[in-house]
Structure 1
Amino acid sequence: MTRRSYAEQRPLDLGFGVWSVPVPIPGNPLGYTLVYAIESPRGPVLVDAGWNHPEAWAALRDGLATAGIDVASVHGVVVTHFHPDHAGLAGRVREESGAWIAMHEADAAIVDMMNGVPSDVRGSFQVDMLRRAGAPSEDLPEGPAADGRQDPPAPADRRLRDGDLVDLPGRKLRVVHTPGHTPGHVCLHLEDADRLFTGDHVLPGITPHIGIYPFDRDDVDPLGDFLESLTRVGELGELGALPAHEWTFPDVAARAAQIRHHHEEKLERLLALLAERAEPLTIWETAAMMTWNRPWSELPPMLRGMAAGEAAAHLRTLEVRGVLRRLPGGDRVRFQALES
């Protein structure tokens, strides 16, 4: 199956009291977020809410109406992770309905931190991080909003942990903590229907962005966490997958195994590239050598920054595995392959 444009999307009754509602992401190649509504006697619970934009809000409101749901009746919103195409409209839904917002405690803490930091400070953080990675001046944003980021999402009312049951009367919706894409990313197992809402963790045709922020952190390993999370999701079996983008698919375990294989191959290629270089490389130099969906020279600065975050995550995993060393010094960290 290939990805269809947003214009081709319609709300769908997926059975078992579950609807999918496509919500557009204006100006983004992903096109749309699939928001899910799960029926319950106390009112529907949404899985994610979509991008905070008037067009997105109209699509969510009207899509729910197609399913016979008044947005004012929504009981709660479970956010799979804090990114704006998932959490952006959660605050608006809460304003309209009085619904609670729930997310994993790790992402809830990030949202609280983001809401407490002025936009100019966030912009300065971004510029400093890019400089330390080795980015040239032409790839640095020129202002706090130069990277196109939205304001932080609404804070959570409820904080979730792995294994929790979501407040969904008459149903069993269990939290499965799947860190990697974000520290608090969760999948949600609808146990009474053998389905898994996968958020961005397992997608049918693409792989999620796995980055490390700041790029030069040495106390976390998001790619390692992601690979472990894929293994855990695979152990749930051949559940039907309800992802946040693209399309639904029947076997989450098989797709999780494919994504694990993809990243292991990427790690092998990166290590081989580093082993060929006598001199250590910055994060930016490493990212420029890696394979992306288009040549490095054609990537705009924002996408180069995302690529650098992903390169940093792969470098960190190789460092954790003991095949790469970090060479701090000056204002830029460098990495070098260890002799085998």
Structure 2
Amino acid sequence: MDRISLGNDEFEGHNNSYVLEDPDGDELALVDTGVATPDVRDDLREGLADRGYEFADVDAIVLTHFHVDHAGLAGEVQDAGGATVYVHEADAPLVEQDPEETAALHERRRAYLDEWGVPEGPKSELLEFVDASSRLEGEPVDATPIEDGDVIDVGGRTLEAVHAPGHAAGLCCFELANGPETADDDTAFVGDALLPVYTPNVGGADVRVERPLEKYLTTLRTIADRDYDRVWPGHRDPITDPSGRATTIVDHHRERTENVLDVLADHGPADPWTVSAHLFGDLDGIHIVHGPGEAYAHLDHLHHEGIVELDDGEYRLTADDAELDLDHVVAADD
């Protein structure tokens, strides 16, 4: 797979922008573009130049989701040559930078920070970080919305959109139906649905997602069931055992659920910020929302399973020593 490695000191580490070139040279497409910073812009520009292209030559951009480290440069590339930008309909308003949708996202985040019990100091630090990060969004995009099951032809490839929510409401994998990458492998672009080193944040990464852990576990089951030979993630190197990696992440969330229950058992009723502090310690930057968001995702899941109850912002165990079948509670096919 032809990929351009893009610098990223802000979030999960090096991003990937995948270059899809029609064998006849008639069409050029990118999957994700990186964040709108000067260094990353240079990375993308130089990567295309090494292949004999410039921004204006890009005919199509496929975005796995709205996060700025994946979509930040899409508007600038589109402005240069009129590229069509495909993104799931749930994320399209955000990459278009629709003022109402953007304001609603920020307001929802502020409401959750209060609900999760985040103190004023860390909350102010997080909101300042978010405001400063707005420069990373780049230029607005004229988006072409897609949904689960849509098939698009870009860069000489046929891609099927596979909706994969959890980390983000509109996150999609894109399964390749043809091209040299599929000669020996069933493969897909997976964005942040599956990462080779980190486990994608759920709960804090996109506060629009209802029941974030349940949705992400379902996404992991979808990836495992499709039984790809390899996948191409939004960060770092290809994953050569996607089903195994998906299972490992399910196991990680089962263990995290156990840790959340241990916090409540050892320390009593707690809000997500307090649970996060026991799990992750001190937080700064974007992690001020990622930490309690992750704790919330697990507490919310346990609440819906009837294992904890919510009272005045705090979660408490429904029984002191409940015998829990976590294979059922944290199962990828819930």
In structure 2, the residue matched to 1:7 is: none
Q: Are 1:250 and 2:240 matched, yes or no?
A: yes
Matches within 5 A, 1:291-330: 292=280, 296-297=281-282, 299-300=283-284, 302-327=286-311, 329=312
1:151-199, CA deviations, whole angstroms, 9 ceiling, x for partnerless residues? 5563452111111112326422111110000011001111221221110
In structure 2, the residue matched to 1:335 is: 315
Matches within 5 A, 1:19-168: 19-25=2-8, 27-28=9-10, 30-40=12-22, 42-111=26-95, 115-117=98-100, 126-141=109-124, 145-147=128-130, 148-151=132-135, 152=137, 154-168=140-154
Give secondary structure in 2 for the equivalent of 1:106.
coil
* Contact 1:36–1:46 under 8 Å retained in 2: yes
> Aligned AA for 2:151?
L
In structure 2, the residue matched to 1:4 is: none
* Contact 2:204–2:294 under 8 Å retained in 1: yes
Task: Label 1:174 to 1:206 Cα distance change in 2 as closer, same or farther (>3 A).
Answer: same
1:231-269, CA deviations, whole angstroms, 9 ceiling, x for partnerless residues? 111111132111111111312111111111111111122
* Structure 2 residues not aligned, in runs of 5+: 323-334
Q: 2:196 aligns with which of 192, 198, 204?
A: 204
1:194-214, CA deviations, whole angstroms, 9 ceiling, x for partnerless residues? 221110111111111111589
Indicate the RMSD between aligned Cα atoms, in angstroms.
Answer: 2.6
Q: Percent identity?
A: 31
The alpha carbon displacement at 1:46 in A equals: 0.7
Q: TM-score, normalised by structure 2?
A: 0.84
Q: Larger relative contact order (C-alpha < 8 A, sep ≥ 6)?
A: 2
CA distance in 2, matches of 1:277, 1:119: 37
CA distance in 2, matches of 1:120, 1:161: 24
Matches within 5 A, 1:151-230: 151=135, 152=137, 154-168=140-154, 170-192=156-178, 193=182, 194-212=186-204, 220-230=210-220
* Structure 1 residues not aligned, in runs of 5+: 1-13
Give secondary structure in 2 for the equivalent of 1:276.
helix
Q: Number of paired residues? A: 309
